Structure 1
Amino acid sequence: MSTDEAHGLEPWLRDILRCPVCRGELVDATSPDGRPELQCASSCDAEGVRRGYPITDGIPVLLADEARLIRG
Structure 2
Amino acid sequence: MTENAVGGGGDTLGIDPALLEILACPDVHHTPLALDVPAAELVCPTCSRAFPVRDGIPVLLLDEARLRS
TM-score by length of 2: 0.76
- Kindly indicate whether the alpha-carbon contact (under 8 Å) linking 1:3 and 1:28 is maintained by their aligned counterparts in 2: no
Where has structure 1 moved over 4 Å in runs of 4 or more? none
Tell me what 1:12 maps to. Answer: 18
Aligned length in residues: 60
Which aligned pairs between 1:53-64 and structure 2 lie closer than 5 A? 53-64=51-62
- Whether the aligned pair in 2 keeps the contact of 1:51 and 1:69 (CA below 8 Å) is yes
Decide which structure has the larger Cα Rg and report it: 1
Q: CA deviation at 1:10?
A: 0.6
Select the structure that is richer in strand. Answer: 1
Unaligned 5+ runs, structure 1: 45-49
Which ranges of structure 2 fall in alignment gaps of 5 or more residues?
1-8
- Normalised to the residue count of structure 1, the TM-score between the two structures is 0.74
Q: CA RMSD in A?
A: 1.5
